[in-house]
A and B are shown apart, each in its own frame.
Chain A
Amino acid sequence: MDAFHFFATSWVSPELLGLTALGTFLGIYVGAIPGLSVTMAVSILISFTFSWDVNNALCLMVGVYMGGVYGGSRTAILLNIPGAPSAIATAMDGYPLAKKGLAGEAIGLSTVMSVIGGFVGIIVLALAAPTVSEFAITFQPRDYMMLGVLGIMLVGSLSGNSLAKGIFAGALGLLIGTVGLDPMSAEERFTFGVVDLWDGINPVAVMIGMFGVSEALHQLHHMDKAVVKQKISRIIPKLSDIKKYLPLSLQSSFIGVIVGALPGTGGDIAALMAYDHAKRTTKDPKVPFGEGAKEGLIAPESANNAAVGGAYIPMLTLGIPGDAVTAVFIGALFIHGLNPGPLLLVEQPQMFWFTVGNLTLANIFVLIFGLTGIRLFSKIVECPKGILIPLIFLLSIVGAYAINNAVIDIWWMLAFGAFGYFMRLYGFPVGPVILGVILSSLTDENWRRAILTESGSLGNFFAHIFTSPLSSILFMSIVLIFVSQTSLWKKHLKPRLLRSK
């Protein structure tokens, strides 16, 4: 009964209800406007909501997350420009539908299917998280360390075009996270004798720089892109359509949850996999895929929203973020004094059920806002980039300042913004940097705990890895990701092995 009580916290408080609604509303626009991203918005929001009560801050951010994942589909359908990476697959059939004059129907259908996907994700989160977290209590420090490394490797190998660049970015993030006084021995690390650096570099400043400023600087390359100009008529989808596509939507949702729950994979990959699944299982679609098949719209939309619930599983039970957005989210939880990890469910069950309830609420708001206010929507999305981009810079600077009311954070933010600009320019992914910063202390401390229990012997460390099934699996996964990306495997081993099959 307690669980239900915590679940309903944000439903019965007018303040929390209002903040969730506001967050979802903002999220839909942030997701829809090309050039604004959920990671950007949540990074900036952390700095502003910093002094708030934790529940209020979480309500706003959960809403932005849920709304943002859905909102990306809007511009994908209307403009063929995915507002968020998770909407790339949506554009493939959504835009052809809009060109046929079915934009309203496509938006309505994608809204309903997103909400169904969202619910599946939340239900799986509520059912699976307690079990995962019970299992996670048996994890050894070395397992945590390897999970951290695994997450960074996965994000690094999936988000960029080269594993070496991803690894570089991840290692850089880990190193940025170690700046300051060592939490275990209070020794100075990379402080160069500057007292201001004792507290380290604020991760929020790194996030705003990498996701806010550097992204906005990149947008300056694309100033001449289109603005929306269209009329949308009927938006409430037909009940027969929903009934007809419900099985596909549920299948896609389960793909979404599972992919979302894996560390390093988020809504974008879930959506592409679900699209592929729909293409393979739909025997004879009314309209071919790529030319406006409704199946091709429903599958990715269900999957990317289901992935939100999935991504919360490792985040809340292991303290390991699945992708860049959840990495930013974990940062927020830490800032508010929560310790995501296996003990969260034991020590603070109210936080877990509060989050589940809040996600459900945000999902309902997605349905409400998704099916209404379309006229206002097209007005706001028309906001020209020449006005939008200066505003992003303004908010980034104010956000960086607001963390500690210190100008030093603005400088860090700008430095990482400029560095992030060049990283993006030359194909280095920035997601692993943030993941590294967030996971740095967890990986560092667990490594030292692990090696201390082995009395400093590397031999014993590896011997114990191979005597524990979980450790061996984690270790083998790390090795596998690494080997599968090297040229030795790609050029020599892969062709031979595949031929022998």
Chain B
Amino acid sequence: MGLTSHTPRLRSPGVIMSSLLSTQKVRKPGERIFCFLLIVFSVFLFWQAYQIAGFSSLSSSGAFPLAASATMVLASCVVFVNTLKLPAAEGIQFFRHCLPPVVSIIMAIILLYAVAIESLGFILSSLVFLCVCIQLLYRRSPLFTLSISILALIVVYIIFRLVFQVVLPEGVMPERDIIAAITTWWSH
């Protein structure tokens, strides 16, 4: 049996992350700020919930949001206090283990993709997106990346656009004309 047993490299960020997730006895970098922001966010929502109907009656449209946001305020305060009690994790950096560059870069690429999808259309923007991401995450020759992206895109397009009939943004590609041309050619 050719089972490959993998001993994970102890220093890899993934291993540190998963061991952290399972124990949670230490505070990760940025955790205090995140929990504090949650309190601010909850208080803001509480204020907004108060604006709906004030404390007028228990059955008003604002009563349930008020209760939910009050719960959020209380829970986030408890979480914040608990977080303050924890000792800081050692040897963990925010931009290395919590938000490594690859995650921020991918987030930025997704954002650009979401902006471009409507104007450029599904096919073009997705092709660029797949090429960039696959090249970044799976470092092989550009030709390999391009062919695997095209292949994946064709499969996705056939399944979702043609079989499932999902409407996708057309953008600059005269997609409808192309499909119409193919169907007329097919029926001849």
Contact = CB atoms under 8 A, between A and B. Distances in A.
Interface of A: 48-49, 51, 78, 98-99, 101, 103, 161-162, 164-165, 167-168, 171-172, 174-175, 178, 182, 184-185, 187-190, 213, 217, 220-226, 229-231, 384-387, 389-391, 393-395, 397-398, 401-402, 405, 407, 410-411, 414, 418, 421-422, 425-427, 443-444, 447-448, 451-452, 456, 458
Contact of B133 (A51, A225, A390): A390
A49 B159 CA distance: 12
Contacts of B75: 164-165, 167-168, 171
A386 B3 contact: no
Given A78-B3, A168-B72, A387-B138, 19 more contacts: A99-B5, A101-B1, A168-B75, A168-B79, A171-B69, A213-B110, A220-B100, A220-B103, A224-B8, A224-B12, A226-B4, A384-B138, A393-B129, A393-B133, A394-B129, A395-B156, A398-B122, A402-B168, A425-B99
A402 B167 contact: yes
B110 A422 contact: no
A337 to B, nearest CB: 19
A77 to B, nearest CB: 11
Given A103-B1, A167-B71, A426-B34, A387 B134 contact: yes
B164 A49 contact: yes
B4 A411 contact: no
Nearest to A396: B110
Nearest to B165: A51
Given A187-B61, A410-B117, A401 B168 contact: yes
Contacts of B76: 168
Pairs A-B, 5 closest by C-beta atoms = A386-B138, A390-B133, A386-B137, A168-B75, A226-B6
A394 B130 contact: yes
A134 B18 CA distance: 45
B88 interface: no
Contacts of B69: 171, 175
29 contacts: A101-B1, A167-B71, A171-B71, A171-B72, A171-B75, A174-B68, A189-B65, A220-B106, A220-B137, A223-B14, A224-B12, A224-B14, A230-B1, A230-B2, A230-B4, A385-B137, A386-B134, A386-B137, A390-B129, A393-B106, A398-B166, A398-B168, A411-B114, A414-B110, A421-B103, A444-B64, A447-B64, A451-B58, A456-B59
A448 B53 CA distance: 14
A223 B21 contact: no
Nearest to A449: B59
B107 interface: yes
Contacts of B126: 394, 398
B13 interface: yes
A185 B122 CA distance: 40
Contacts of B14: 221-225
A372 B122 CA distance: 36
B105 to A, nearest CB: 10
Contact of A231 (B2, B45, B114, B166): B2
Contacts of A401: 117, 168-169
B95 interface: no
Contacts of B2: 229-231
B147 to A, nearest CB: 12
A142 to B, nearest CB: 12
Contacts of B138: 384-387
Interface in B76-129: 76, 78-79, 82, 98-100, 102-103, 106-107, 110-111, 113-114, 117-118, 122, 126, 129
Contacts of A386: 134, 137-139
A448 B59 contact: yes
B154 interface: no
A427 B166 CA distance: 36
A189 B63 contact: no
A397 B113 contact: yes
Contacts of A384: 138
A288 to B, nearest CB: 20
B114 A407 contact: yes
A379 to B, nearest CB: 15
A162 B79 contact: yes
Nearest to B140: A386
B173 interface: no
A385 B138 CA distance: 8
A269 to B, nearest CB: 17
A414 B112 CA distance: 11
A182 B65 CA distance: 11
Contacts of A98: 1, 3
Contact of A452 (B3, B12, B59, B71): B59
A99 B1 CA distance: 8
B172 interface: no
Nearest to A413: B114
B137 to A, nearest CB: 4
A273 to B, nearest CB: 20
Contacts of A448: 59, 63-64
Given A385-B137, A448-B64, A99 B3 contact: yes
B160 interface: yes
Nearest to B132: A390
B103 A175 contact: no
A140 B168 CA distance: 45
A383 B113 CA distance: 24
A397 to B, nearest CB: 6
B183 interface: no
A390 B145 CA distance: 12
A164 B98 contact: no
Contacts of B164: 48-49
B3 A230 contact: yes
A389 B133 contact: yes
A387 to B, nearest CB: 6
Contacts of A185: 60-61
